[in-house]
Amino acid sequence: MHLWLIDSRMRFLPDARLKKRMMTHILDYFWEDLELGLVDTLATSNPMVITKYSKMYLNIWYGSALAYDVGAIRSDTSMAEAVWRNLYESDASVPLSEIYKMVEYIRIQQHRLMEMSDEQILNAEWSWTKAPFEVPESEKAKLLGPAGRQATLFNTQITASPKLSELLRKQQETIKQEIQETKKQEQQNKQQ
């Protein structure tokens, strides 16, 4: 969900090439972290097993992102449906009030990200506020899926990791230079 929040904010960056490249770096970082988590959780480093689960999570990511996109543009009810399916795994025992608290949390995070400058977003200077509710320990595994590596996300304020922030700052300059060179080349090709 937090990855989708960043992705949806990056769509508002003015340079399409830059936002695409930066989001690619963020996703790469996320998938590397996910694979490390799978190695720990599954107690295996077998590439076939890791690849199988990585593909499964990639499909989940695309489906979740699409559902959150629909929820973002339609209504809180649509977002609640996406939250219920993707975060709560369609568990009928989850109170509707909890689902709407998560929708409120998502809307707050969206607003906070939109208030940030493009530079802050590109430099991974984002942070997440504490959720407006406590997630009981017994629910975290269900809420966060099998890996459960982000069990503290909802009960604490977190920021992007320093490693990710440093990576994005370095990549941002490289990407900007590559884009400038590509634009120059395109202009030269038009003149010929």
Determine the distance from the C-alpha atom of residue 117 to the mean position of all C-alpha atoms in its chain, rounded to a whole number.
Answer: 18
The single residue listed with the structure tokens 């809307």 is 107
- C-alpha span between 39 and 51 (Å, rounded): 11
Q: Supply the pLDDT for residue 5.
A: 92
What token pair was written down for 77?
A: 């009810």
Instruction: Report the 10 Å Cβ neighbour count for 124.
Output: 24
b/e map 16-28, b = 16+ CB within 10 Å: eebbebbbebbee
Q: Supply the pLDDT for residue 154.
A: 40
Task: Judge whether 32 and 167 are in contact, CB under 8 Å.
Answer: no
Listing DSSP states for 36-61 in one string gives HHHHHHHT---HHHHHHHHHHHHHHH
Q: Which residue type sits at 46? A: N
Query: Per-residue confidence of the chain (192 residues) as pLDDT tens digits?
Result: 888 999 999 989 888 888 888 888 888 888 787 787 777 777 778 888 888 888 888 888 888 999 999 999 999 999 999 999 988 888 899 889 989 988 998 998 999 999 999 888 888 888 777 776 665 555 554 444 433 334 333 433 444 556 656 666 666 677 677 767 777 888 888 887
Nearest to 121 by CA among 173, 66, 84, 169: 169
- The ranges assigned to domains in the chain are 2-185
Q: Supply the pLDDT for residue 164.
A: 58
